[in-house]
Amino acid sequence: MSNECLNVGLIGVGRIGKLHAEHLAYRLPGVRLKTIADVNVDAAQACATRLGVPVVSSDYRAILDDRDIQAVVICSPTNTHAQIVVETAGAGKHIFCEKPIDLSLDRVDQALAAVAQAGVLLQLGFNRRFDANFARVRQAIASGEVGTLRFVHIVSRDPAPPPIEYVKVSGGIFMDMTIHDFDMARFLVGDEVEEVYVSGGVMVDPAIGEAGDIDTALTVLRFRNGVIGTIDNCRQAVYGYDQRVEAFGSRGSIQTDNNYANSAIIAGDRSVGRDLPLNFFMERYTESFLAEMRAFVDAVLTGKPVAVTGEDARKAMLIGLAARRSYETKRPEQVFNCGL
């Protein structure tokens, strides 16, 4: 498809759908966002009017039936992803899907089988791989700049817990929050996780525990190559969205700080400080969301492999399943046993 304009349909105009729609409409040369679909047709129409998108529908199948559309961006609720992936693959269209594909491993496998059978591209929305800070850490590890890698530490703390109604259907902290960190750990280390051990609890909101989840966790990962990873999660960090990484090796270390709205340092007679970090993932990762969509478009137009595959998403999910099992059994769990 080199040198062609890529016609895209987008399904779902929640907060992430609106962001992707804006990028597709305004910030990606060679792309035409032709159709927006959402069961809330008023929301779809409002988004389309703002962005100058010509076609709106309450039924996503209108996108699948349009022969002019070559690629589909799926931003609908999680429980619809797998079915839409299967139908989109059957329609012969390339797919970008927000994570996760599904909370059921069987349905994930069915979706991936449909994609493979159709021979279309599928990229998953693990946008943090495209963050410039984390990409630099990966570069330092892959190039040997830090020497032989010994451990990786990931800090991922949200500014506030999500609504309880979301917690009840999200699959829990390991599937809706830490799954990004599981993917990041695999991406940074460049190897597979063999074993997981979790210690966690409910330290922020008792209602989260009543919903069957936890809100605070420390996860230890052992990789096939011997590297040790740790992930530090909490549903609440009162100072903002806390996203940091450190990699330590035989020749040194590399670490990233949080992103801030400004670089000003305030100095007085008692302290030196600065303003708080960015407080929301949409602000912190705006450029990475654009970069991941640019990579998807480039893959479709040039025939290159996608940057984050369905198999990457499946492996992150397996780590999440092992993490939940480890929390429940209070012992280390083998990752790939969870796929049996």
- Cα dist from 182 to 41, 139, 277, whole Å: 35, 18, 23
The predicted-structure confidence for 108-164, as pLDDT tens digits, reads as follows 999 999 999 999 999 999 999 999 999 999 999 999 999 999 999 999 999 999 999
d(CA 338, CA 340): 6
Residue 338: what pLDDT?
A: 61
d(CA 114, CA 90): 7
The predicted-structure confidence for 193-226, as pLDDT tens digits, reads as follows 999 999 999 999 999 999 999 999 999 999 999 9
The predicted-structure confidence for 5-21, as pLDDT tens digits, reads as follows 899 999 999 999 999 99
Does pLDDT of 183 surpass 80?
Answer: yes
The backbone region for 256, taken as left when phi is positive above 0, alpha when psi lies in -120 to 50, beta otherwise, is beta
Q: Show me where the domains of the chain are located.
A: 6-120, 129-280+316-339
Residue 336: what pLDDT?
A: 81
Amino acid identity of 110?
A: Q
Q: For domain 6-120, give the CATH number.
A: 3.40.50.720
CATH architecture of 129-280+316-339: 2-Layer Sandwich (3.30)
Q: What's the pTM value of the predicted model, to 2 decimals?
A: 0.93
d(CA 279, CA 239): 8
Give the DSSP H/E element, type plus range, for residue 313.
helix 310-329
The backbone region for 30, taken as left when phi is positive above 0, alpha when psi lies in -120 to 50, beta otherwise, is left
- What pLDDT band is residue 98 in, cutting at 50, 70 and 90? very high
The predicted-structure confidence for 28-80, as pLDDT tens digits, reads as follows 999 999 999 999 999 999 999 999 999 999 999 999 999 999 999 999 999 99
**Cβ-contact 306, 97 below 8 angstroms:** no
- List of E strands, 80-171: 94-97, 122-124, 149-157
Amino acid identity of 160?
A: A
